[in-house]
Amino acid sequence: MSAPKNTFKAALREGRFQLGLWAALGSAYAAEILATSGYDWLLIDGEHGPNDVPLMGAQLGALRHTPTHAMVRPPMGEAWILKQLLDQGAQTFLIPMVESAEQARALVRALRYPPHGIRGVGAGLGRASDFNRVADYVTTANDEICLIVQVENRAGLAAIDEIAAVEGVDGVFIGPSDLAADMGHLGNPGAPEVLAAITHAFSRIKAHGKARGIMTVSLPQAAVYRDLGADFMAIGTDVNCLVAAVGDLRRQFLGEAAPAARGGGY
Ligand SMILES: O=C(O)C(=O)C[C@H](O)[C@@H](O)CO
Region for 132 from its dihedrals, namely left if φ exceeds 0, alpha if ψ lies in -120 to 50, beta otherwise = left
The per-residue pLDDT for 142 is 98
pTM strictly above 0.95:
yes
Q: What domains lie within the chain, and their CATH numbers? A: 7-237 (3.20.20.60)
Q: Are 36 and 253 in contact (CB under 8 A)?
A: no
CA quadruple 18, 20, 138, 166: dihedral sign: positive
The per-residue pLDDT for 203 is 98
Q: Whose CA is nearest to atom 10 of ligand 1?
A: 266
Strands (E) across 193-240 are located at 211-215, 232-237
Q: How is 150-200 classified by DSSP, letter by letter?
A: EE-SHHHHHTHHHHHHSTT--EEEE-HHHHHHHTT-TT-TT-HHHHHHHHH
The per-residue pLDDT for 257 is 93
The per-residue pLDDT for 55 is 98
pLDDT at residue 150 above 60?
Answer: yes
To the nearest whole percent, how much of the chain has pLDDT over 70?
A: 98
Out of 48, 185, 200, 208, pick the active-site residue.
48
First to last CA, the chain: 42
Q: Is the ipTM of this complex over 0.85?
A: yes
pLDDT at residue 262 above 70?
Answer: no
* Ligand 1 center from residue 254 Cα (angstroms): 33
Span 157-209, pLDDT tens digits? 999 999 999 999 999 999 999 999 999 999 999 999 999 999 999 999 999 99
pLDDT band at 266 (very low <50, low <70, confident <90, very high): low
Q: Are 231 and 208 in contact (CB under 8 A)?
A: no
Measured from the Cα of 150, ligand 1's closest atom is: 5
Ligand 1 lined by 46 (C-beta under 6 Å): no
Span 209-234, pLDDT tens digits? 999 999 999 999 999 999 999 999 99
* Residue 102, number of CB atoms within 10 A of its CB: 12
pLDDT band at 264 (very low <50, low <70, confident <90, very high): low
**Across 126-132, average pLDDT:** 97
